[in-house]
Amino acid sequence: MSQIAEVTLKRAEDSDFLPILGTDYIEFYVGNARQAAYYYQHAFGFQPIAYRGLESGYREAASYVLRQGKITFVFTTPYHPGNFIADHIYRHGDGVRVLALQVEDATQAYAETTRRGGRPFMPPTRLEDENGYVILSGIHTYGDTVHIFVERGHYNGPFLPGYLPWGGFGQSTPIGLKYVDHCVGNVYLGEMNQFVAFYRDVMGFRQLISFDDKDISTEYSALMSKVMANGNGYIKFPINEPAQGRRKSQIEEYLEYYHGQGVQHIAMATDDIIHTVRELRRRGIEFLETPKTYYETLLDRVGQIDEPVEVLAELGILVDRDDEGYLLQIFTKPVQDRPTLFYEIIQRKGAKSFGKGNFKALFEAIEREQARRGNL
Ligand code: FE2
C-alpha cells in the first residue's frame, strides 16, 4: 500500500463514527433449528458452541449456535405461533434475520446511527449472567433484516448471556471456512440507491464498486449492484436490485419467493478452496454447474495460477483476476426449498474484487436452475 493510501485510510478510520471489529454472528430464523444445526455441523463442518431453549429456562424459542473460524451462525425456531419469529418464517421461509456486528461500544453505535436516521430496532440493552455482561443494540436495514451491535468486551461465556455450552450432534470435522467475506442483500427495483445511502449516511460506509446491467447481464436478465464497505474494510455489504431483462431475473425470483427484501448470499472465505469444496461435495452440498467450456479458455483469461485447471474443472471452481491478484469462487444452490439464500465459497489470492469476469457464466448457471424450477 502506498504512503498516501495509508494516510487516507488512517484518516478514514479516525473519522469512523461506527468502528466495527467484525461480523459477530448471523442469525437465521428457520422452521426446525435442531435439524438446521445438524446440517451446518455435518455438511458445512461448523462446531457446536451454545444452546438456548426450554432446557436452559427460555420458553419462547430454541437457538443453536455453531462456529467455524470467525464465522458464528445461530439457528432459531419458535415453540409457538403468534410471535415475530413464527411470522418471519411463515412469510420468508428459512432466512437471515440478524447481521450482528461487533463493536466496542453498542450504546454509542446506537446513538450515532439513529441520530443519522437509522430506524431503531433495539435500544441499548444490558444482558448478564455469571460470565459477565454484554450490551446489545440494533437498527433495521432492508426488509425484515436487522443489524445488532454487540459489545462483548466484558463477557466470557460461550455466546451470549442465557446460552449454555452445547456439545452438538456427534463429531464433525471443520472444512477450512475462516470468516465472512461479504454478505449480499437483494432489494426491490429502484431501491438500491436508497440502501446505498443508508449504509453511507447512517453507518458511515463507503461505496467500493458498482456494477450495472452492462456488467451483469445475460441474454435474459440483468441486475445492478453496489458494494458498500465499512471504514476498516472488514465488513462488505453488496446491494443488488433487479434490472429490466427479457425474462425474470434471479433477483426477482428471490424477491418473489422470499416475499420481500433480504440476504441473498453469504460469502465465506477459505485458504484452501480445493479442500473446502471437495469436502462440501463429499458431504452432499450441491453447487451451480460450470460448463466444461469455461475451463478451455480459463488460462487465457486469468493467466498463470497455482491450482491445476483440471482439479478446478472437476470441482466447478471459478477464477477471476483483477489488478491486485486473483480469486477463486464457487456458489451453492439455494440451501432451502425456496430459491432464496445460497452460499459462496471464496479464496482470495490478492484480488479484492468480486469475480466480475465470472458474472456471465454464473448467471447463466443460475438461469439454467431457474428454468428447471419453471421460474425463468
Ligand atoms: Fe458474492
Same structural domain for residues 259 and 295? yes
Separation of 185 CA from ligand 1 center, angstroms?
10
Same structural domain for residues 143 and 118? yes
Q: What is the CATH number of the domain that holds 332?
A: 3.10.180.10
Domain presence at residue 171? no
Same structural domain for residues 241 and 206? yes
From first to last of its 376 residues, the chain has per-residue pLDDT tens of 445 555 455 555 557 999 999 999 999 999 999 999 999 999 999 999 999 999 999 999 999 999 999 999 999 999 999 999 999 999 999 999 999 999 999 999 999 999 999 999 999 999 999 999 999 999 999 999 999 999 999 999 999 999 999 999 999 999 999 999 999 999 999 999 999 999 999 999 999 988 877 776 677 767 889 999 999 999 999 999 998 777 788 899 999 999 999 999 999 999 999 999 999 999 999 999 988 889 998 999 999 999 999 999 999 999 999 999 999 999 999 999 999 999 999 999 999 988 888 888 888 888 889 999 999 8
Distance separating the N- and C-terminal Cα atoms of the chain: 44
Same structural domain for residues 140 and 198? no
Same structural domain for residues 161 and 181? no
Among 104, 135, 165, residue at a domain's last position: 165
Locate 104 and state its grid cell. Answer: 466496542
Separation of 342 CA from ligand 1 center, angstroms?
10
Among 145, 165, 185, residue at a domain's last position: 165
Same structural domain for residues 188 and 75? no
Same structural domain for residues 218 and 276? yes
Same structural domain for residues 86 and 228? no
Same structural domain for residues 161 and 182? no
Q: How many domains does the chain have?
A: 2
Same structural domain for residues 124 and 224? no
Report the candidate in 376, 369, 149, 181 with the shortest Cα–Cα distance to residue 266: 181
Domain presence at residue 330? yes
DSSP structure class, residue 69: T
Separation of 215 CA from ligand 1 center, angstroms?
15
Separation of 355 CA from ligand 1 center, angstroms?
8
**Is residue 131 exposed (0-12), middle (13-18) or buried (19+ Cβ within 10 Å)?**
middle
Range of the domain at 37: 3-165
Domain presence at residue 172? no
Same structural domain for residues 41 and 120? yes
**Is residue 372 exposed (0-12), middle (13-18) or buried (19+ Cβ within 10 Å)?**
exposed
Domain presence at residue 161? yes
Same structural domain for residues 153 and 185? no
Give the number of residues written for the chain.
Answer: 376
Report the candidate in 10, 67, 26 with the shortest Cα–Cα distance to residue 150: 26
Separation of 132 CA from ligand 1 center, angstroms?
36
